[in-house]
Amino acid sequence: MGKIILLDGAQGTRLWEKAGQQGVEKDPVWKYNMEHPDFVAEVAKEYAEAGSEIVCANTFGANRLAVERSSSYAASEVVEAGVRIAKEALAGTGVKAALDIGPLSVMMEPYGDLEEDEAAEIFDEMLAAGAGAGADMVFFETFMDVEMMRVAAESAMKYDLPVICSMTFEKGGRTMMGNRVEDIVETLAPLGIAGIGMNCSLGPAAAGEIIRQYAAATELPLFLKPNAGLPESGEAEGATPEGFARLVAPVLDRVTYLGGCCGTSPDFIRELKKLI
């Protein structure tokens, strides 16, 4: 088994928890970069203390379409603030800060009205702000359309940062847009990305099957951040940190980047650290 780099767990739910404890409204979490940066810094520090070696900046949904729809902020200032808060919170720990970018809320042509050039411009605005603020790498997470991911990854290549591309899958082993692991590898691997994988949507047992498919299709380092298991998904065991770690264990020899997505917390990362 090669070296495994430990990532963080869920950010949004942790931030909403902190907001609730302080009587603060449950806003889109990127707003907290501007209005409650202390919450954001606390979450980054919690994950660093739990053992995360890379922590995501609170920038996942901070694209122009979302930011301008529900605030007077510019996406670039929200992203810059998110990366700066993470960098300051992690200073002196040796933990890296990743610029975290999610998919856009509208579909690209031919499925929707968003043109490829416009999508590239939106991603580039986030990338320029994040790189300028000192992000150590770029994580594209939770994409379901490999063509949108291609546009995002191509935009990132000019920033000379390691880029990791992570798709989200349905139970049948394809993304919501019907992309298979083989299609994803064929489209993204030639771009020069530093890693590929999956996050969200599935619990650790079902996610393990996707990772096995990736391992059969590529030599690229693999990225895995499953959701905590839910009782109705048949993965109830993965709802606890200990159960989550047990269900991840069978694919440890295949992954390089390992963390958790929705429903996970610093306790899950501590358990993964023990497992590693």
Q: How many folded domains does the chain comprise? A: 1
- What pLDDT, on a 0 to 100 scale, did the predictor assign at position 157? 97
Contact 227, 259 (CB under 8 A): no
Give the residues of the chain that fall short of pLDDT 50: none
**Residue 2: predicted pLDDT:** 74
Region of 209 please: left (phi>0), alpha (psi -120 to 50) or beta: alpha
Instruction: Quote the pLDDT of residue 250.
Output: 96
Query: Would you state the pLDDT for residue 232?
Result: 64
Give the domain range for residue 137.
Answer: 5-275
> CATH code at 216?
3.20.20.330
Query: In DSSP terms, which residues pair with 257 in a beta bridge?
Result: 5, 223
Query: What's the confidence (pLDDT) of residue 1?
Result: 56
Please say whether the dihedral angle defined by the alpha carbons of residues 174, 175, 176 and 178, taken in this order, is positive or negative.
negative
- Nearest by Cα to 14 from 272, 244, 261: 261
pLDDT at residue number 230:
77
pLDDT at 231: 66
Angle between the 181-188 and 146-156 helix axes, to the nearest 10 degrees? 20
3-class secondary structure per residue, the chain? CCCCEECCCCCHHHHHHHHHHCCCCCCCHHHHHHHCHHHHHHHHHHHHHHCCCEEECCCCCCCHHHHHHHCCCCHHHHHHHHHHHHHHHHCCCCCEEEEEECCCCCCECCCCCECHHHHHHHHHHHHHHHHHCCCCEEEEEEECCHHHHHHHHHHHHHHCCCEEEEECCCCCCCCCCCCCHHHHHHHHHHHCCCEEEEECCCCHHHHHHHHHHHHHHCCCCEEEECCCCCHHHCCHHHHCHHHHHHHHHHHCCCCCEECCCCCCCHHHHHHHHHHC
